[in-house]
A and B are shown apart, each in its own frame.
Chain A
Amino acid sequence: MKAYFAILYARTATLFQYRAAAFAGMTTQAFWGVIKTMILTAFYTQSSISQPISLDQAITFIWLGQALLALLPWTIDKELEAQVKNGNVSYELVRPINLYCLWYARAFAMRTVPTIMRCIPVIIIAGLFFGLSAPISRTAFLAFGVSLIFGTLLSSAITTLILISLFWTLSGEGIQRLTPHVTLLLSGLVVPLPLFPEWLQPFLSLQPLRGVLDIPSRLYTGVIPTQEAFYYLGFQLTWILILVGAGRWLIGRALRQFVIQGG
């Protein structure tokens, strides 16, 4: 266990060096946040039928999404991708280390570090000037925090799974083009999930990607009452267990099946 924390720590230290990227990302996300809130406001004021969530809640959804964008599993670790493609992944195996845990630790660092660097300025700016509301209560904020940690664990599991899928696809290009769109849509970043049509809700509420950002955002804004938090935390935990289990099983199969040729 200590080994994986050491890897996580080293990876975190490395990723904190990419400050310029964080600043660029932060600026883009703040810009998009402003545009999205303007579009939503326009829709809300023009619409005559009542919406499932209030405009304030919707705007808060948008801003939480913009601040925590890097948390979503929509990119993979380029170094590890290269390792799978050129077969160098085999060299990782000369160390007494579980490959899934190694990849998961790296995915976790990759999800958290950019998020930590970007979210605080975005939250401050959005809170002061662009209508990000405060959490509805202290307990709601606590539930949001716990749920966000679960969301990060879930997102890391999905990131690792996408990486594992590269063992089976030749170039990984297809998956990598598809992933950002699917992820952003199903996480509720394009349009908050509660605003999707009614008939899609059963599907949307069961798919794992809602556990990353949608559940924390709902707890924060009170769309989910705080007393129901345990049910939703359980939902997140279930998906974490399923996806980690699937990842470990698949990586074991991949390593037995695909072999790394050469020399």
Chain B
Amino acid sequence: MSIISVDVLSKEFLIPKRNPGFFASLASLFSQEYEKKTALDRISFAINEGELIGYIGPNGAGKSTTVKILSGILVPNSGSVKVMGRIPWEHRIETVRELGVVFGQRTQLWWDLPVIESFELLKDIYNISDNAYKTTLQALTEALELSKLMHVPVRQLSLGQRMRCDIAASLLHSPKILFLDEPTIGLDAVSKLAVRDFIRHLNKERKVTVMLTTHDMDDIESLCSRVIILNEGQIYLDGTLATLRKKLSPERRLIVDLLNENDTVSDPNALLVKQEGHRVWLSFDPTKITTTELITRITSKHSISDLYIENPPIEEIIAKFYRNTNL
């Protein structure tokens, strides 16, 4: 049974139309015209318990709108949604009890209070029992290395520290589902890795279902088994990273280290991406020429010290996709 199911969900926003000019603004006092903007256009998907899903798409694709509908904050125009068997906007309070939500761009902790006091407030808000609170807090403090931060007011924390505290805060009530909205935004490399490790651990060990919204493709690549790509309110793709690669770009990279620096490689089925000294990057389409065939052909013509094959970075694939859709 899926823990989250979304069926032909649509959401439109009405935006007051503003015409330029004095008379137009005067007229708008009496009859305001609205412009319809479709944020979500009949999307459907289902998420099973224990999945770790990347929910990605360009800015304005409707990602946050989806998260807000799933947490019962927004009421959609049509479609049905079930989160743990409940319709979120009709049972907001019961639904959010089972959810943890982290917004990377803003903290949900109380700005003036020391971290521990924010946590204690959450304990009362979620009505967590003393024992459960103690165990969870201890586990989170260890995993996220929070012990030194507990008595610091939130406004004095660095971004990375604040993010770790925010993640801990969203997990105090042991939610079954976690929504992470750009959790690694603005973090340095070490903090990013720490946050990623923790998310992975949470998903594997504690079986928390995670829906991750991000623009950081490394997050996706290192964490998610499945991605849903949203574009202009519609689902463009829902599948594994491998299907994403196949659908968007079947290309592979062949990296060749030549013995002779002045040598260069050319092949009718491979495109020279770049060359730096001994190293040459070639891209090819495995549906047109098999990898072994290409390697045989190149090794027969050139003397080579080393060679290997890689997938193009997911970042480039997505960038290509965004460019195509925006044209």
| A and B bind | yes
Please give the residue numbers on chain A whose beta carbons come within 8 Å of chain B beta carbons, in ascending order.
2-3, 5-7, 10, 14, 17, 88, 90-91, 93-98, 256, 259-263
Nearest residue (CB) in A for B111 is: A79
With contacts A88-B106, A260-B73, A263-B60 known, is A93 near B113, CB below 8 A?
no
B13 contacts A by Cβ under 8 Å: yes
B221 contacts A by Cβ under 8 Å: no
Q: Interface segment, B120-128, B198-206, B300-308? A: B120-128
Question: Which of B75, B121, B126 is within 8 Å of A7, CB to CB?
Answer: B121
Chain A residues, Cβ within 8 Å of B122 = 95
Q: Which residues of chain B from 56 to 89 have a CB within 8 Å of any chain A CB?
A: 59-60, 63-65, 68, 71-75
With contacts A6-B120, A88-B106, A263-B64 known, is A93 near B73, CB below 8 A?
yes
Jot down 8 A-B pairs with beta carbons below 8 A, ordered by A: A7-B121, A7-B125, A93-B73, A94-B73, A96-B97, A96-B125, A259-B74, A263-B65
Q: How far is the CB of A48 from chain B (nearest CB, A)?
A: 53
Distance in angstroms between the alpha carbons of A2 and B64 in the assembled complex: 31
With contacts A6-B125, A262-B64 known, is A94 near B108, CB below 8 A?
yes
Question: Which of B75, B93, B124, B126 is within 8 Å of A256, CB to CB?
Answer: B75
B154 contacts A by Cβ under 8 Å: no
Q: Which residues of chain B from 141 to 156 have a CB within 8 Å of any chain A CB?
A: none
Chain A residues, Cβ within 8 Å of B41 = none
Chain A residues, Cβ within 8 Å of B71 = 93-94
Chain B residues, Cβ within 8 Å of A88 = 106
Distance in angstroms between the alpha carbons of A93 and B65 in the assembled complex: 14
Chain B residues, Cβ within 8 Å of A3 = 124-125, 127
Distance in angstroms between the alpha carbons of A93 and B95 in the assembled complex: 11
Q: How far is the CB of A139 from chain B (nearest CB, A)?
A: 38
Question: Which of B13, B93, B103 is within 8 Å of A96, CB to CB?
Answer: B93
Q: Which residues of chain B from 112 to 135 have a CB within 8 Å of any chain A CB?
A: 112-113, 117, 120-122, 124-127
Chain B contributes a number of interface residues (CB within 8 A of A) equal to 34
Distance in angstroms between the alpha carbons of A173 and B60 in the assembled complex: 31
Please give the residue numbers on chain B whose beta carbons come within 8 Å of chain A beta carbons, in ascending order.
13, 15, 59-60, 63-65, 68, 71-75, 92-94, 96-97, 99, 101, 103, 106, 108, 110, 112-113, 117, 120-122, 124-127
Q: What are the 9 tightest A-B residue pairs by CB atom distance, in nearest-first order?
A: A6-B124, A263-B64, A3-B125, A94-B101, A96-B93, A93-B73, A96-B97, A3-B124, A90-B73
Q: How far is the CB of A248 from chain B (nearest CB, A)?
A: 14
Chain B residues, Cβ within 8 Å of A14 = 112-113
Instruction: Report whether B64 and A91 are in contact in the complex, using a CB–CB cutoff of 8 Å.
Output: no
Chain B residues, Cβ within 8 Å of A261 = 13, 15
Q: How far is the CB of B133 from chain A (nearest CB, A)?
A: 13
Instruction: Report whether A10 and B110 are in contact in the complex, using a CB–CB cutoff of 8 Å.
Output: yes
Instruction: Report whether A96 and B68 are in contact in the complex, using a CB–CB cutoff of 8 Å.
Output: no
Instruction: Report whether B93 and A10 are in contact in the complex, using a CB–CB cutoff of 8 Å.
Output: no
Chain B residues, Cβ within 8 Å of A7 = 121, 125
Distance in angstroms between the alpha carbons of A2 and B125 in the assembled complex: 7
Nearest residue (CB) in B for A11 is: B110
Question: Which of A91, A96, A256, A259 is within 8 Å of B106, CB to CB?
Answer: A91
Q: How far is the CB of B18 from chain A (nearest CB, A)?
A: 13
Quick one: which of B15, B75, B99, B124 has the most chain A CB within 10 A? B124
Distance in angstroms between the alpha carbons of A14 and B101 in the assembled complex: 25
Chain A residues, Cβ within 8 Å of B124 = 2-3, 5-6
Q: How far is the CB of A258 from chain B (nearest CB, A)?
A: 11
Instruction: Report whether B97 and A10 are in contact in the complex, using a CB–CB cutoff of 8 Å.
Output: no
Distance in angstroms between the alpha carbons of A84 and B15 in the assembled complex: 17
Q: How far is the CB of B196 from chain A (nearest CB, A)?
A: 22
Chain A residues, Cβ within 8 Å of B93 = 96-98
Instruction: Report whether A95 and B106 are in contact in the complex, using a CB–CB cutoff of 8 Å.
Output: no
Distance in angstroms between the alpha carbons of A17 and B111 in the assembled complex: 14
Instruction: Report whether A10 and B121 are in contact in the complex, using a CB–CB cutoff of 8 Å.
Output: yes
Chain B residues, Cβ within 8 Å of A10 = 110, 113, 117, 121
Instruction: Report whether B13 and A91 are in contact in the complex, using a CB–CB cutoff of 8 Å.
Output: no
With contacts A2-B127, A3-B127 known, is A91 near B117, CB below 8 A?
no
Q: How far is the CB of A89 from chain B (nearest CB, A)?
A: 10
Chain A residues, Cβ within 8 Å of B60 = 263
Chain A residues, Cβ within 8 Å of B101 = 94
Chain B residues, Cβ within 8 Å of A93 = 71-73, 92, 96
Instruction: Report whether B59 and A263 are in contact in the complex, using a CB–CB cutoff of 8 Å.
Output: yes
Instruction: Report whether A91 and B97 are in contact in the complex, using a CB–CB cutoff of 8 Å.
Output: no
Q: How far is the CB of A15 from chain B (nearest CB, A)?
A: 10
Q: How far is the CB of B234 from chain A (nearest CB, A)?
A: 17
Question: Which of B96, B103, B117, B120 is within 8 Å of A95, CB to CB?
Answer: B96
Chain A residues, Cβ within 8 Å of B15 = 261
Question: Which of B64, B94, B106, B125 is within 8 Å of A97, CB to CB?
Answer: B125
